[in-house]
Amino acid sequence: MLKLYHWEPNANSGKPMLALAEKGVAYESHYLDLLSFDQHQPEYLAVNPDGTIPALVHGDLVLTESTPIMEYVDEAFDGPPLKPTDPVERWRMRWWMRFFDAYFAPSMSMIGWAVFVGPVARQRDPEVLRAAIDRIPLESRKIAWRKALFNEFTPEELAESRRRVLFCTDVLEAHLAKHTWIAGKTFSLGDINGFNLGYALPLSQPDHCNDARTPHIMEWLRRIYERPATKATWALGRTPMVQRVAFLERGNTHLSAAAVQQSVLPGNSQGWKKP
Ligand SMILES: N[C@@H](CCC(=O)N[C@@H](CS)C(=O)NCC(=O)O)C(=O)O
């Protein structure tokens, strides 16, 4: 049986989840609560000693890195192909996946860790948090957690990440003004990758990403949100963070982005409760 270790359908975990759903491949879901540090517990370190998610287990094989996992899923299983056959489209899909992973995602991630992960996790006892940080195997993840938990992202780092996010949003809008999907005419892994990264852009960057300023991004996000695989995958989410995806429902244009965004911050009545 295929096993996927993942957190919410969001960022890296959501990529293989959505690719598997699009292919119609069944898998055993192993939900790890990232905010409770499940990914650093010995049972999971026995699967992936780096303590990062997602990880896909297929027979004896343990696969990590969300984008290559999606490519594996597409190639190893039956179901609708998620890579274009045309070489130019395939190149465009890969160009964009590299841009998403190497440039756009780290900036989005830093903001997400500063705005959501840090404030949520900081509600716990600092000594418990310090012990949790000590157990993190990868130095780069230790640093990210320390900065998030002790509010150590510098204003300059955050400003640079915000600048990059706005730059990437403009590049994406210009691209989608010319192409229906990331690769061109064909829905592909590039769209799955971009949706996981950007489904909440209109909420986190409401002045920059909205129907008036970035109509092509909004339409692209809504078209992906309407796919049955996306609906089924996001229904697996357990936190209000991913439930924000309903903002993309065409009938929900009256919702205020700021109010939806506020609702997931710690201390708000609906926000961040474990099921
Ligand atoms: N490049 C990896 C990154 C994996 C990664 O760092 N995932 C984050 C969640 S999005 C994680 O596992 N964080 C756990 C931690 O920092 O403790 C991928 O694309 O799969």
What is the token pair recorded at 190? 């590039």
What is the token pair recorded at 19? 């690719």
The pLDDT of 115-121, averaged and rounded, is: 86
pLDDT tens-place string over residues 33-63 = 999 999 999 999 999 999 999 999 999 999 9
pLDDT of residue 3: 98
pLDDT tens-place string over residues 237-266 = 998 889 899 999 998 878 888 888 887 776
Spell out the residues 6+ positions from residue 162 whose beta carbon is closer than 8 angstroms to its own.
Answer: 107, 111
Q: What DSSP string runs through the chain?
A: --EEEE-SSSHHHHHHHHHHHHHT---EEEE--GGGTGGGSHHHHTT-TT--S-EEEETTEEEE-HHHHHHHHHHHS-SS--S-SSHHHHHHHHHHHHHIIIIIHHHHHHHHIIIIIHHHHTTS-HHHHHHHHHT-S-HHHHHHHHHHHTT---HHHHHHHHHHHHHHHHHHHHHHHH-SSSSSSS--HHHHHHHHHHTTHHHHSTTTSSTTT-HHHHHHHHHHHTSHHHHHHHTT--SHHHHGGGGGSGGGTTS-HHHHHHTTSTTSTTTT---
Residue nearest ligand 1's atom 14 by CA: 52
Cβ of 34 below 6 Å from ligand 1: yes
The pLDDT of 141-155, averaged and rounded, is: 92
Which CATH number fits the domain 3-76, given the four candidates 3.40.30.10, 3.40.50.150, 1.10.10.10, 3.30.110.40? 3.40.30.10
CA 206 to CA 9: how far, in whole Å? 22
Cβ of 39 below 6 Å from ligand 1: yes
Provide the residue ranges of all domains of the chain, joining segments of one domain with +.
Answer: 3-76, 87-262
Q: Exposed, middle or buried: residue 93 (CB in 10 Å: 0-12, 13-18, 19+)?
A: buried
pLDDT of residue 272: 47
Residue 225, CA atoms < 13 Å, CB-side half-sphere: 21
pLDDT of residue 115: 87
Answer whether 92's CB lies under 8 Å from 182's CB.
Answer: yes
Q: Output the furthest CA–CA distance in the chain (Å, rounded).
A: 55
pLDDT tens-place string over residues 126-135 = 898 999 999 9
pLDDT band at 274 (very low <50, low <70, confident <90, very high): very low
Give 12 Cα–ligand 1 centroid separation in angstroms. Answer: 7
12-16, 131-135, 142-146: which is most confident: 12-16
CA 125 to CA 123: how far, in whole Å? 7
CATH class of 87-262: mainly alpha
The pLDDT of 11-26, averaged and rounded, is: 98
Residue 196 has pLDDT above 60, yes or no: yes
Residue nearest ligand 1's atom 16 by CA: 141
pLDDT of residue 268: 64
Cβ of 52 below 6 Å from ligand 1: yes
Give 97 Cα–ligand 1 centroid separation in angstroms. Answer: 16
Residue nearest ligand 1's atom 13 by CA: 52
pLDDT of residue 267: 64
pLDDT of residue 271: 53
The pLDDT of 64-92, averaged and rounded, is: 98
Give 206 Cα–ligand 1 centroid separation in angstroms. Answer: 26
Cβ of 53 below 6 Å from ligand 1: yes
What is the token pair recorded at 42? 């010995």
Q: What is the pTM of this model?
A: 0.95
The pLDDT of 176-200, averaged and rounded, is: 98
pLDDT band at 19 (very low <50, low <70, confident <90, very high): very high
Q: Among residues 124, 205, 133, 118, which one has the least CA distance to residue 163? A: 205
- Determine the atom of ligand 1 nearest the C-alpha atom of 69: 20
